[in-house]
Amino acid sequence: MPTARCLDALLWRAAAAPSSFQRVNGESSKVQEPEPPKRRSRRKSHILLRIDSWIDSTVWNAGFAAGEAWEEITIFFRRFRVHGWKRAVFEVLGEALTLGTAGMVLLLALAMPAFEETKKDWRNRGNFAVTFLDRYGNQIGHRGIIHENSVPIDALPDHLIKAVLATEDRRFFDHFGIDFLGLIRAMNENARAGSVVQGGSTLTQQLAKNLFLTNERSLERKIKEAFLALWLEANLTKKEILSLYLDRAYMGGGTFGAAAAAQFYFGKNITEVNLAESAMLAGLFKAPAKYAPHVNLPAARARANEVLSNMVQSGIMTEGQVIGARRNPATVVDRDDAEAPDYFLDWAFDEVQRLAARFPQHSLVVRTTIDMGLQKAAEAAVASSLREYGESYNAKQAALALIENGGAVRAMVGGRDYGESQFNRATKALRQPGSSFKVYTYSLAMESGLTPDSPIVDAPISWGNWSPHNYGNSYAGRIDIKTALAKSINTIPVRLAKEKLGPNAIDKIMAEAEKFGIETPIRKDVTIPIGTSEVTVLDQATAYAVFPAGGYQSRRHGIAQIMNYDGDVLYDFSRDEPPPQRVLSETAAAYMNQMLTRVPYVGTGRRAAVDGILTGGKTGTTQAYRDAWFCGFTGNYTAAVWFGNDDYTSTNNMTGGSVPAMTFKKLMDYAHQGIELRAIPGVENPAPEAAAPKVATAASEGEPAGLPPLMRPRSLSADSTRLIREIGRMLKEAKPVTTPRRVASAAGRDPG
């Protein structure tokens, strides 16, 4: 039997094997024999085989289960399979859902920066009440709660609410922030008229723009505006939205809100305005500068008549109810023609809140640094340049900042029209400065031991993957540094940064610009030697004012004193601010002034030279002619001028040596009338070309020819002008003189 044979074999092996017992102290004990190495390796192999088998079986079972599950899902969804036209419909819907989802993700990504604004205390505009004075103590405007007395929505006249809704948003109480029906209606009307006659934005969207955004015309801004409108509708009631809109909108004349506008235009409380006055106020929301009644009363009345027609067409009122307002249009109180410098006041109000945050009093009188004569001249210079050359050069906006030697801001123009756009392009718009940024690289070069006469090679150069090109793609070969700056050659500042300024040259240029007064964060990039990092106009004016200051900080400021209504001086710039620090050595500053004063005479800024007054500066033109700059100075004043478009579209080949330089000259011609001229440090003996009459027909490199010659205007001194104005005011205010009836003459006739 097999079993018996196996048993015999086992017994034989046991008998043949050596005894595994030994006797210890007379006792028998078992001795453990060492296991052969081959048996241990077999056991280890068996364990590994079991692990491998478990892994194989687990993976196979998982795959089998997944296949079964997938088959069940496939079988389940087969019942939804469609054919024919239904399949085409489902395919379209599926693609639309996919694209819609991707679009919503994109829109949300674009809107996220706007939502960050909602985290701030946007409801609170501060409890400051500030009366602003100019440098001579004349009142020029208000900001703060004095000018923003909000009236509860329930206390406003019913006809004012109706006039606003009929004109701005008839379906205000029916939509959720975006009115698609109104948008379709507006598109239809615009298509029929062949131009933009109606807007599709709701009142909520307009409020979102006023609270959080700027007037920049771009798709990104419209997307943000739409999302913020939805956010406002979700977080505020309709009454709150309407109240904020009426309280925050600009209404012309430097007024914000319907209550302030009623007081300014009609001299009465908002609760007392009649239907005709309400219609005139409602007409201001569209274009406050165009329809401001103290500027253009006929246009304001015509606009008010349109508002009355809107009320009739929308069914809010009947023709019989508005006929009285049509026959008796609103009249306004007499106002001085002088306009408030609103762009400057907005900036100055921010400065006051920063400086006076530590003071317990918030009802303040602030003496500013603005000179209204220079302010009007700056506004006139910008307006005339845009009017004469804006259309031909395709430039719709401009900005300007004027600083007197010592740091006082004397004039500021933040845009073409404050009524159309309250966005201050002088202090908030970030634009590439182009070649006007090169002065920081050249200043470092002068500090490093180079001089204006140091030789440099103008030739193609590459820095990593970047290869800058000169205007016209031409190269001059071996030249000196002063010629390179005057001709605005692009390769030279790049070569200076790469080869002459040592390691970390880009960091050094960034630090130099910050020392000069550039407050905008500068992007670290090898292209910044030729001005690719964005700055503001006020930044550039602040930095260039270092040169006429002899290398010292310009200490830019717009606030001279802050006082309470008791006359106590809470802040005084000359008392409370530290003295200026030197940011450029005396030698380097002298070298820079010697080079920059050649630019208006032999370089790219020939149209900026002020006749009879030594002028220095630098032009700047960015890629694709998007921005045109001139930043310049005399011994008395420094100014930065920018021309371009809000939407970053290119101008028609406008360079910094054309309209910006001409605008600079217009302003400086006025600013230097009847004042004591100061010398520019380091330029004791001006170059012969600077003293000689300027040849107006000479076209600088990169400057289009054909511009009309500019001549110094014949005008009175500043003192004579003020005296004549004072005489005119006295004559205007004087009482009329009555002549008594005289006795008849010898001829018996009455001379009367």
Catalytic residues: 168, 435
Q: Please state, in angstroms and rounded to a whole number, the distance separating the CA atoms of residues 161 and 246.
A: 9
> At residue 72, what are phi and psi to the nearest 5 degrees?
-65, -40
Amino acid at 317: M
Q: Please state, in angstroms and rounded to a whole number, the distance separating the CA atoms of residues 666 and 715.
A: 13
Which residues fall within 8 angstroms of residue 504, CB to CB, at 6 or more apart? none
DSSP SS3 for 2: helix
Q: Please state, in angstroms and rounded to a whole number, the distance separating the CA atoms of residues 632 and 462.
A: 30
DSSP SS3 for 182: helix
DSSP SS3 for 174: coil
Angle separating helix axes 438-447 and 586-596, nearest 10 degrees:
140
Cβ atoms of 605 and 592 within 8 Å: the answer is: no
Q: Please state, in angstroms and rounded to a whole number, the distance separating the CA atoms of residues 374 and 345.
A: 15
Q: Please state, in angstroms and rounded to a whole number, the distance separating the CA atoms of residues 443 and 632.
A: 16
Overall residue count recorded for the chain in this entry: 752
Locus of tokens 């005489």: 727
Cβ atoms of 658 and 629 within 8 Å: the answer is: no
Strand partners, 409: 403
Buried b (16+ CB within 10 A) or exposed e, 412-431: bbbbbebbebbbbbbbbbeb
> At residue 679, what are phi and psi to the nearest 5 degrees?
-80, 155
First to last CA, the chain: 169
Host H or E run for residue 323: helix 319-327
Backbone CA torsion sign across 235, 174, 155, 261: positive
Amino acid at 271: T
Q: How many CB atoms lie within 10 A of CB 297?
A: 16
Q: Please state, in angstroms and rounded to a whole number, the distance separating the CA atoms of residues 479 and 544.
A: 25
Q: Please state, in angstroms and rounded to a whole number, the distance separating the CA atoms of residues 218 and 423.
A: 14
* Short-list 367, 426, 716, CA closest to 572: 367
Cβ burial of 25 (10 Å; 0-12, 13-18, 19+) is exposed
State both tokens at 143.
Answer: 């900001």
Q: How many CB atoms lie within 10 A of CB 337?
A: 6
State both tokens at 106.
Answer: 């994109």
Locus of tokens 């009329």: 736
